[in-house]
Amino acid sequence: MDPEKGQIVIAPAGLAVLERYRDIDSGKTQVQVGAGFDGAKRWHTVDVPRQTIASTSQIVGLADYDFPISSLNARQIVEYLAQYETKNRCAMALRQTTGHLGWQVAHGYVMRFLAGPETFISLQKGEMFSFFPPIPQTGNSSMGSSVAET
């Protein structure tokens, strides 16, 4: 807000960093950016590398996702999102992400086994586990088991 001019409109929609994600393998951060248009019932969102919202040349790429960003307002939006993220960082959970299923290793430590999009199996060394996925044609379960060798 400019004390002399009052509020300055830099985009015709409310913009915000809604979520933060960190890849456990690379350590890189991604963010979910949202635009709230007048009359819309929910946020219009896109997940992008954090560097996108930190660069005036890269943030213009959000126009491809129908965000109200152009070369004319890119600098103000990068500035605004940096301030927004700084002030709201404690309120945003940092979620861990990965690009693969199976054993998840971070910083040399096995964290858990990722069996599906949101199915984690935490194990201690030597602990038995069983996995019972449904058989697609019948809906019955097949049975498999193993021993953790972490």
Residue 27 lies in a domain: yes
Domain that holds residue 130: 102-147
Does residue 150 surpass a pLDDT of 50?
no
In order of 139, 140, 144, the CA distances from 133 in angstroms are: 9, 8, 9
Residue among 20, 28, 23, 47 at smallest CA distance from 99: 23
Total H helices, total E strands in the chain: 3, 9
Same domain, 109 and 65: no
Residue 59 burial (C-beta neighbours within 10 Å; 0-12, 13-18, 19+): buried
Residue 139 has a pLDDT of: 44
Task: Classify residue 2: in a domain, yes or no.
Answer: no
Closest CA to 16 of 46, 40, 41: 46
Residue 26: pLDDT over 70:
yes
Residue 38 has pLDDT above 70, yes or no: yes
Tens of pLDDT along 39-83? 778 888 999 999 999 999 999 999 999 888 999 999 999 999 999
- Same domain flag for 112 and 43: no
55 and 116 share a domain?
no
Q: Left (φ > 0), alpha (ψ -120 to 50) or beta: where does 137 sit?
A: alpha
**pLDDT of 97-135, one tens digit each?**
777 777 777 666 666 777 776 666 665 555 544 444 444
Average pLDDT over residues 83-103: 85
What would the pLDDT profile of 99-108 be if each residue is shown by its tens digit?
A: 777 777 766 6
Assess whether 28 and 84 both reside in one domain: yes
